[in-house]
Amino acid sequence: MNDMTPVKTTLKDWVTDQEVRWCPGCGDYAILKAVQRTMPDLGADPANTVFVSGIGCSSRFPYYMETYGFHTIHGRAPTIATGLKLANPELDVWLVTGDGDGLSIGGNHMLHLLRRNVDCQVLLFNNEIYGLTKGQYSPTSRTGTSSPSTPFGSVDRPVNPCAFALGSGARFVARGIDVNKNLSNTFKAAYNHKGTAFIEIFQNCIVYNEDVFADFTNKKTAAETQIWLEHGEPLLFANGTKGLALDREHPEHLKPIVVDVVDGDWQAAGVLRHDQTNHALAYMLVEMPFGEYPMALGTVYDDPRPTFNQVLTKQREEVSAGKPADLQALIEHGQTWTVEEDGPEL
């Protein structure tokens, strides 16, 4: 997020003339529209905004945003985004990737982006499958997933994107759902964070992994299966009748438990308040196995620190202070050799 005067725009200012081409019913449509609708609320400037993507269905995103954009190579979007931000710190940089692009071949690059804390927003579309290359299992596919590459069921243990981000040193971690109206608020929180903001978005692949998240995305049961996090507020769900507390009977386990809340008295039930600056709590929330617990959504962790581009810019200014820019002197610095024109014949 940049410190600049807000620009007044409308939804139309962010929509390109390109035909949007994803499979009918794909969750990517909803994410695209949520981003386009959110940008005017941020006061962002299309002429100062760039979307960077790698390879995959999600990576078509830059074509559909009326901004600058880079459709890069597989897994390398974080490196391009880093270079852009360092070359022009005033740019608003958004990175769009998928669970395969960002956590498989791009896992190493994603780790370094997060630990360095480059000032940008990362939207990781997670559909637990490789959609563009016809349904192979991905790093986030669940054990037992049957696919063209694992016809007898995957035996891999899946990556937890938010746990990966927290372990890599991310200072902002959030979760959202492609068709949920709260996704826009999550984008706003990420944009207002100074540093790398990582958002995992559960995205339905209607062709190769349809309804894989239906257990917690179904609107009819969402109150029971989702817990939306809000800083300073109690961790309540099921219309306030249930909440998350620490297991005080077994403190050595340091794990949450689901408790019943009677007559709205969540304090008596021992329900925790959400503290988005608490790293241990953030881990606890993203590691909760769904079924036994609800799915934690919204801003899980938000605790800013100086960004990589801020620190690097400051260092460069300090090192170069009072020194004239002299490229020739730099070239001639240290040992040099002179090559004689008239050497011996060979």
φ, ψ of residue 278 to 5 degrees: the values are -95, 105
Q: Under a CB-based contact definition with an 8 Å cutoff, are residues 202 and 177 in contact?
A: yes
Please list, in sequence order, all residues whose beta carbon lies within 8 angstroms of the beta carbon of residue 165, skipping any fewer than 6 positions away. 114, 173, 198, 200
Higher pLDDT, 346 or 58: 58
56 φ/ψ sector (left φ>0, alpha ψ -120 to 50, else beta)? left
- pLDDT value at position 75? 95
Taking alpha carbons only, the member of 153, 67, 81, 68 closest to residue 124 is: 81
In the chain, % of residues over pLDDT 70: 98
Amino acid at 257: I
- pLDDT value at position 181? 94
Confidence of residue 3 (pLDDT cuts 50, 70, 90): low
CA distance 98 to 75: 9
**pLDDT at residue 1 is higher than 80:** no
Helices 183-191 and 27-42: angle between axes, nearest 10 degrees: 50
Q: What is the DSSP letter of 102?
A: I
Amino acid at 197: A
pLDDT digits (tens, 9 = 90+) for 200-239: 999 999 999 999 999 999 999 999 999 999 999 999 999 9
- pLDDT value at position 2? 55
Average pLDDT taken over every residue of the chain: 94
Has this prediction a pTM greater than 0.85? yes
pLDDT digits (tens, 9 = 90+) for 47-103: 999 999 999 999 999 999 999 999 999 999 999 999 999 999 999 999 999 999 999
Instruction: Please give the average per-residue pLDDT across 277-303, as a whole number.
Output: 97
Please list, in sequence order, all residues whose beta carbon lies within 8 angstroms of the beta carbon of residue 183, skipping any fewer than 6 positions away. 30, 31, 34, 176, 177, 201
**pLDDT at residue 318 is higher than 80:** yes
pLDDT digits (tens, 9 = 90+) for 111-155: 999 999 999 999 999 999 999 999 999 999 999 999 999 999 999
257 token code pair: 């438990």
- pLDDT value at position 343? 61
Give the DSSP H or E segment for 299: strand 295-302
Please list, in sequence order, all residues whose beta carbon lies within 8 angstroms of the beta carbon of residue 161, skipping any fewer than 6 positions away. 99, 103, 124, 126, 140, 198, 200
- pLDDT value at position 340? 79
Q: Under a CB-based contact definition with an 8 Å cutoff, are residues 222 and 241 in contact?
A: no
Strands across the sheet with 226-229, in order?
68-71, 49-53, 92-98, 121-126, 197-202, 172-177, 295-302, 226-229
Instruction: Please give the average per-residue pLDDT across 14-42, as a whole number.
Output: 97
Which 3 state secondary structure label does DSSP give 100?
helix
Confidence of residue 325 (pLDDT cuts 50, 70, 90): confident
Taking alpha carbons only, the member of 80, 84, 47, 85 closest to residue 66 is: 47
- pLDDT value at position 323? 85
Instruction: Please give the average per-residue pLDDT across 155-174, as a whole number.
Output: 97
Confidence of residue 4 (pLDDT cuts 50, 70, 90): low
- pLDDT value at position 335? 82
DSSP secondary structure string, 212-270?
A: TTHHHH-TTTHHHHEEEE-TTSB-EETTTTEEEEE-TTSGGG--EEEEE-STT-TTTTT
Which 3 state secondary structure label does DSSP give 165?
helix
Instruction: Please give the average per-residue pLDDT across 296-313, as a whole number.
Output: 96
In the chain, % of residues over pLDDT 90: 86
- pLDDT value at position 326? 86
